[in-house]
A and B are shown apart, each in its own frame.
Chain A
Amino acid sequence: MKALRAALWLIEDVALPYHRRHVARAALTLLGVAIGCAIVVAVELLNRSVVGSFRETVETIAGSADLQVTNPGAGVPEVLLEAIPEIPGITSAAGLLQATLPTPRGELTIFGVDVFGDQVVRARQFPPEAVTIPDEFAFTNALDSVALSTALLERWDLAPEAAIEVAAPAGRRVLRVRGTVEPRGPAALYDGAVALLDLPAAQQLLGRVGLLDQIDIVLAEDAEPVVVRAALERVVAGRARVHAPRERATGLDGMLLNLRTFLSLVSLEAIVVGIFLVHHALATAIAHRRRELAICRAVGFAPRALALAVALEALAFGLVGAVVGCGLGVGLAELALDAVRGAVGAIYARSGAGSLELGVRQVMLALLLGVGTALAAAVAPARSAARVPVLRHLRRDDGDGREGAPRLRAMVVAGAALIGLGTAGFFIEYRSTSALVHLFLMAVPAALLALGFALIVPAALAGFVALLRKLVGERAPITVQLALESLARDPVRRRGPLTPMLVAFALVLLGASMVASLRASILGWVERTLAADLYVVAGPSLPLPSGETFPAALEARVVPIDGVAKVAASRLVYTQLGERTVVLRSLRGRLPFDGLDYPVREALPDAAESFARGEAVLVSDDLAHREGLRAGDTIELATASGPRRFTVGALVVDFTLDVGTITLEEATYRRFWKDDLANVLYVWTESGVAVPAVRRAIEQALEPVAKTSILTAGQFERDVSGALDGALRLTWAIELVALGIALIGVVNFFLVEVSDRRREMGLLRAVAFGPRALGRSLLTEAALLGLLGGLLGVAYGGLVSWLVVSRSARLVSGWSLDFVFPLGLAATTVVVATVAAVLAAGFPVRRASARAVAELVSME
């Protein structure tokens, strides 16, 4: 209690006046904590919002359904609708088909339901009182009838019977407005851009005759859900999945694992950045206040009171930073929400507008992080405050006070041990679907490595100086010799700016290396496997399982075009492998082995033949790694014709999506999944023909029947590259912040360093050195420190990057990435570190060099 009282007094009378004198530095510290907390809060809010709005969307569309039968992407056979209502305990079952189609005025989400049929399920989805259809007969008889939400009708300024052109999978179609729906329930989703179609019309429009996206089921009040579910599963017989509406959001949670891990990694980087900022600020403050602390110790303040005061100071920074971070986090999430929801919607699943509400959980998380970050950063400064050498700072000379010689050898041994331990940590084999576990198992070994490098920094500095001395000998100018002498004098103390520099530069290199490795691996794969000359896709963007489609029959229109050698349609859908949602892709014949050249990791001897016969499938290496699958294993997939078992013919490298991909022969897919749509046509041209001419001919042939885009291999690669760059932009932003922190650290160090050595500088000035020579010597010292910091950053960054890319990426995503180290950036890092250190030292050095000798000698 006494120590607490003394610590509070120290804060009030010593720390606060100090921060009032250094407002900019205090603000920067607060900003550091706030940014760290803000990114974590924003990621948490975005994640909750996306998953929450997806869950809300699923439940809104499900209406009063107790159970659902779904088969993502591939579809549920409509025939099940006849058998399901017969199951005891089921009151009602209704099918639904959903798709989002482009129109000239924007996107329109189509709901295909039995408008005038079953009303038990529909009463909660599209209640009769909310649907106005003046002529029911005309509506059901004409397949182009649509009931538009009143909100959209008003927004688009449409009259009854107005025409809306949509780009449907079956080609361009014109729909007629023959009814309205009030924006309630599903009709209020997607900003009201919703249209209701009768189910058969929707099936026709979407090219999915005989298929449904889901069957919504309402149970009788006295029904036993477990019993009904079991009976339902027997009837469905593996042709789809049976689940409660809420369980679908859990599936999305699993699909977003890599995204969440990536965003969490970004948060972690932000936290590390925050720790550095707080650490710098406190360490600098303690260094500036050493004399005051020494006085306090001399007159009887206990070391723990001093340490407690520093900890409380950090706590205050943490708390205020966390509160500011909460506000910033909401702002950041607001800014990023549309982009993240758009990306998740495009790749995984669309959802309605989510809300960003700051809850107790986020506030607690921010406080915990802010306080934790600040306290972690305060450990070393608090220790240093408690151990401040009293007489050294209170006497005019250093007298007999000597500090023990640094135990460089012990530090090197401990550092090497930690580096070994950290490296070994990356080789721990585990399987987890928790982003937190992945983060923990990446962060702990990385932290051990950082600690190990920090411990060997003084020895590296001593070795570096010894090497330079050997190289330049006595030929070097006196200013350089003086700089080397100064660096050699106390390598433990000089590590001040080196540790944060090496960690910050390593973060930059880690991010760059991850991006470079990911880009090289994916683009290399794209270049190797997408060997066709042209790609016909349904939408303006890359083909994705949740993306736009066209009838596979379009292939027949392309085949006869002059110059076309070969055409192959391919379908991408989501399907279930056990509890995991994965991508299912169809490819014709021996295409993966002959035409597209998929890199094979492991294969059965007759893999190509088995695949072409439709007996074997190809499983992506990442999925096989996560599921523990090997070539020769058997997997079961839910098809529209019931469950089907396939042999795993080969494990191949496939970067289509991070959820993993199963590739199946085209005809087999069409047969079992009863699906006639395609996402892409691969087109090979005859040798010697002009590809642009063939492209124009294909455009002309398809223009009247479908909305398609035709990409060349180069355009396809550029699109992939652009999509990757967009996804990785956030990493670069964080890296820039990390770099800024490193530079702030260097400036802080030299401010304190120069201030501490004024007396030494005065003595040097007094004996021989002019201000310029002295300045040159100090700047040389700074340059050498920067150079070494950069080199150590490259060494640490190189090791961590290699471990993260080759080990962690495999464990988190299952992907085997080719390690690419950005050598250019590494060289730039070393140069930037050196120049930054010189620039950082420039101001304090110039200021101190300009002082009068007598002033410098008398200053303490």
Chain B
Amino acid sequence: MQILSPEAKAAPLEARGLIKSYRLGSVETRALDGLDLRIEPREFVSVMGPSGSGKSTLLNLLVGLDRPSAGEVLVEGVPLSTLDEDGLTALRRTRVGVVFQAFNLLPGLAAQENVELPLRAAGASRREATERARAMLVAVGLGERLRHRPDELSGGQAQRVAIARALVIEPAIVVADEPTGSLDSESGTGVLRLLRRLNEEQGVAILMVTHAPAAAAHADRIVTMCDGRVVSEDRPRATPSVAMRGLA
């Protein structure tokens, strides 16, 4: 296993010429077709695109859950192709936080225990894991909900727990997959505000995949994909606060 050694000036996340092909019978399909993408430190980027544009495949590759057919993904300058399975696992445990649309909290565990998960996976002591998870849940506004199980939380609260779980490892970047997709507009707004605040206060870079233009407008930059390529990049005219008013 290789140890990840972040370079101070390296981008938290970079994709270079990513190609991902699948063979279905005799037909070869390219889900990603030479995609380039660079996320700068402290940057908040939204990725949009229609279904089948390759967003999910990109997500798989960026968090090291799949290997590209060609091209390279670099996390803080470290090419993922140089990492073995353990290295990739360590990457998700230490440098990349993931937030899903469906929250994906373990139903049998309380909010605090869910946030402790990645710390426990990294071998942290129970005491350290508990302290850090509590602090992170307080930071996302759930200090009163530490012992609540997922089915005792609202959708917005559950997603906050998921965000806390992604951030508790102090990652270089958080990759969020449709984080507001399962929420009503009010809760969605709350989650986007939280992500923005954490991005600004903690300096963590965020890559968010979304279908909603209003949610995407929260980002510093919007990348649009089609047929496995980046087809446009925009910087929203509206400030985040304006966008949030639009969402509400």
Q: Are A303 and B92 in contact (CB under 8 A)?
A: no
> Which B residues lie within 8 Å of A401 (CB)?
56-57, 60
Residues of B within 8 A of A291 (CB): 104
User: Assuming the A-B contacts A13-B108, A394-B100, A394-B104, are A299 and B117 also in contact, with contact meaning beta carbons closer than 8 angstroms in the complex?
Assistant: yes
Query: When chains A and B are docked, how far (Å) is the Cα of A292 from the Cα of B23?
Result: 29
CA distance A14 to B106 in the complex (A): 8
**Given the complex of chains A and B, what is the CA–CA distance between A294 and B182 in angstroms?**
19
How would residues 16 to 43 of chain B score, 1 for a CB under 8 Å from any chain A CB and 0 otherwise?
0000001111000001000000000000
Of A2-10, A93-101, A762-770, the one touching chain B: A2-10
Across the interface, do B102 and A17 meet the contact criterion of CB distance under 8 Å? Answer: no
> For residue A294, which residues in chain B have a CB less than 8 angstroms away from its CB?
104
Complex Cα–Cα for A18 and B94 (A): 28
Q: Give the one of A295, A305, A394, A396 with max B CB within 10 A.
A: A295
B residues 80-121 near A (Cβ < 8 Å) are: 85-86, 89-90, 92-94, 98, 100-102, 104-109, 113, 117-118, 120-121
User: Is B246 part of the contact surface with A, judged by Cβ < 8 Å?
Assistant: no
Question: B108 touching A396 by the CB < 8 A rule?
Answer: no
* Contact with A400, one of B52, B86, B100, B104 (Cβ below 8 angstroms): B52
Q: In the complex, A295 Cα to B113 Cα: how many Å? A: 13
Residue of B nearest to A300 (CB): B93
Instruction: Let me know if B93 and A390 touch, CB within 8 A.
Output: no
What is the interface of chain A mostly: helix, strand, loop, or mixed?
A: helix
Which residues of chain B are near A5, meaning CB under 8 Å? 120, 123
Chain A residues within an 8 Å CB radius of B106: 13-14, 292, 295-296
* B121 proximity list for chain A (CB < 8 A): 6, 296, 299-302, 305
Contact B92 A298 (CB under 8 A): yes
Provide the residues of chain B in CB contact with A305, threshold 8 Å.
121
Please, how many angstroms separate the alpha-carbon atoms of A396 and B179 in the complex?
A: 12
State the Cβ distance, A759 to closest chain B Cβ, in Å. 12
Does A395 have its Cβ within 8 Å of any Cβ on chain B? yes
If A14-B108, A298-B92 touch, does A9 touch B120 (CB 8 Å cutoff)?
Answer: yes
Interface residue ranges of A395-427 to B (CB < 8 Å): 395-396, 399-402, 404-405
In the complex the two chains form, what is the Cα distance from A199 to B33 in whole Å? 103
Picked from A6, A299, A860, the residue with its CB within 8 Å of the CB of B102 is A860
- Neighbouring A residues of B105 by C-beta, 8 Å: 295
Find chain B residues with CB under 8 A from A394 CB: 100, 102, 104
Enumerate chain B residues within 8 angstroms of A14, measured Cβ to Cβ: 106, 108
The answer for the CA separation of A553 and B52 in the assembled complex, in Å, is 99
**In the complex the two chains form, is B102's CB within 8 Å of A396's CB?**
yes
> For B101, what are the chain A residues with a Cβ–Cβ distance below 8 Å?
395-396
Closest to B125 in A: A5
Q: Chain A residues with Cβ under 8 A from B177's Cβ?
A: 395
Whether the Cβ atoms of B120 and A400 lie closer than 8 Å is: no
Is there contact, CB below 8 Å, between A391 and B24?
no
Q: How far is the CA of A292 from the CA of B120 in the complex (A)?
A: 15
**B 156-198 binary contact with A (CB < 8 Å = 1; else 0):** 0000000001000100000001000110000000000000000
In chain A between 282 and 297, which residues have their CB closer than 8 angstroms to a CB of chain B?
291-292, 294-297
Contact across chains for B181 and A299 when beta carbons are under 8 A apart? no
Measured CA separation A18–B107 after assembly (Å): 11
* Cross-chain contact of A302 among B23, B24, B86 (Cβ < 8 A): B86
Most chain A CB within 10 A, of B22, B23, B65, B94, is at B65
Q: Tell me if B238 counts as interface (CB < 8 A to partner A).
A: no
For window 1-53 of chain A, which residues contact chain B by CB distance below 8 Å?
A: 1-2, 5-6, 9, 13-14, 17-18
Which of B25, B55, B108 has most A Cβ within 10 Å? B108
Kindly state the separation between the CA atoms of A401 and B60 in the bound complex, as whole angstroms.
8
Whether A295 contacts B104 by the Cβ 8 Å rule is yes
Contact assessment for A303 and B52 in the assembled complex, using a CB-CB cutoff below 8 Å: no
Judging by beta carbons under 8 Å apart, are B113 and A13 in contact? Answer: yes
Please give, as numbers and ranges, the residues of chain B lying within 8 Å of A391 by CB-CB distance: 56, 59-60, 65
Q: Does B70 contact A (CB under 8 A)?
A: no
What residues of chain A lie closer than 8 Å to B54, measured between beta carbons? Answer: 400
Evaluate contact between B89 and A301: CB separation under 8 angstroms. yes
Indicate if the CB atoms of B117 and A303 lie closer than 8 Å: no
Given A14-B108, A300-B92, A402-B22: A395 and B122 within 8 A (CB)? no
Question: Which residues of the other chain, A, contact B63 by a CB distance below 8 angstroms?
Answer: 298
Contact call B113/A399, Cβ cutoff below 8 A: no
Looking at the assembled complex, report how far the CB atom of B49 sits from the nearest CB atom of chain A, in whole angstroms. 11
With contacts A298-B104, A391-B60 taken as known, whether A396 is within 8 angstroms of B181 at the C-beta atoms is: yes
Return chain B residues, CB-CB under 8 Å to A299: 92-93, 98, 117-118, 121, 165
With A394-B104, A402-B24 in contact, do A300 and B122 touch (Cβ < 8 Å)?
yes
Please measure, in the bound complex, the distance between the C-alpha atom of A303 and the C-alpha atom of B87, giving whole angstroms. 11
For B94, the closest partner residue in chain A by CB is A300
Contacts of A302 in B (CB 8 A): 85-86, 89-90, 121
A residues 328-370 near B (Cβ < 8 Å) are none
CB-CB nearest in chain A for B53: A400
A291-B104, A295-B106 in contact; A6/B123 too (CB < 8 A)? yes
Please give me the residue from chain A that is nearest to B117 by CB atom.
Answer: A299
Nearest A residue to B100 via CB reads A394
Which of B25, B90, B100 has the most CB atoms of chain A within a 10 A radius of its CB?
B100
A5→B123 CA distance, assembly (Å): 6
User: For the complex, what is the distance from the CA of A554 to the CA of B23, rounded to whole Å?
Assistant: 88
| B89–A303 touching, CB < 8 Å | yes
| Pair B120/A6 contact, Cβ less than 8 Å | yes
Q: Are B86 and A390 in contact (CB under 8 A)?
A: no
Q: Is the CB of A405 within 8 A of B102?
A: no
Q: Once the chains bind, are B169 and A300 in contact (CB under 8 Å)?
A: yes
Measured between beta carbons, the chain B residues less than 8 angstroms from A304 are 86
Q: Are A400 and B98 in contact (CB under 8 A)?
A: no
- Contact status of A399 and B89, CB under 8 A, knowing A13-B109, A295-B106, A305-B121: no
Q: With A and B bound together, what is the CA distance between A366 and B58 in angstroms?
A: 51
A53–B90 alpha-carbon span in the complex (Å)? 61
**Residues of chain A within 8 A of B94, CB atoms compared:** 300
Known contacts A300-B93, A860-B102, A400 near B31 by CB under 8 Å: yes
Rounded to whole angstroms, the CA-CA distance of A404 and B63 in the bound complex is: 20
A399, closest chain B residue (CB):
B56
Q: Which residues of A contact B165 (CB under 8 A)?
A: 299
Q: What residue in chain B is nearest A18 (Cβ atoms)?
A: B108
Q: A13-B113, A394-B100, A405-B24 are in contact. Are A300 and B89 (CB under 8 A)?
A: yes
**B contact residues around A405 at 8 Å (CB):** 23-25
The complex places the Cα of A305 from the Cα of B90 at a distance, in Å, of: 12
A296, B89: Cα distance in complex, Å: 10
Query: What residues of A have a CB within 8 angstroms of the CB of B92 in the complex?
Result: 298-300
- Contact: A2 with B89, CB < 8 Å? no
Q: A449-505: which have CB < 8 Å to B?
A: none
Q: Which residues of A contact B86 (CB under 8 A)?
A: 302, 304
> Which residue of chain B lies nearest to A398 when distances are taken between CB atoms in the complex?
B56
Q: Residue on B with the closest CB to A8?
A: B120
Using CB atoms, name the residue of chain B closest to A402: B22
Which of B56, B121, B122 has the most CB atoms of chain A within a 10 A radius of its CB?
A: B121
Min Cβ gap B127→A in Å is 14
Nearest A residue (CB) for B168:
A299
The distance from the CB of B167 to the nearest CB of chain A, in whole angstroms, is 12
In the bound complex, CA of A298 to CA of B175 (Å): 11
Q: Given the complex of chains A and B, what is the CA–CA distance between A698 and B31 in angstroms?
A: 95
Greatest chain A CB density within 10 A among B55, B59, B94 is at: B59
The distance in angstroms between the C-alpha atoms of A124 and B108, with both chains bound, is 71
Cα–Cα, bound, A303→B65 (Å): 12
Can you list 12 A-B pairs, Cβ within 8 angstroms, ordered by A?
Answer: A9-B120, A291-B104, A296-B117, A297-B89, A300-B90, A302-B89, A302-B90, A302-B121, A390-B65, A395-B177, A402-B22, A405-B23
Q: Which residues of A contact B (CB under 8 A)?
A: 1-2, 5-6, 9, 13-14, 17-18, 291-292, 294-305, 390-391, 394-396, 399-402, 404-405, 860
- Further pairs besides A298-B65, A396-B181: 12, Cβ < 8 Å: A5-B120, A295-B105, A296-B106, A298-B92, A299-B121, A300-B92, A300-B93, A300-B118, A300-B169, A302-B90, A391-B59, A396-B182
The 7 closest A-B pairs by CB, nearest first: A300-B93, A399-B56, A2-B123, A400-B57, A301-B121, A299-B118, A300-B121
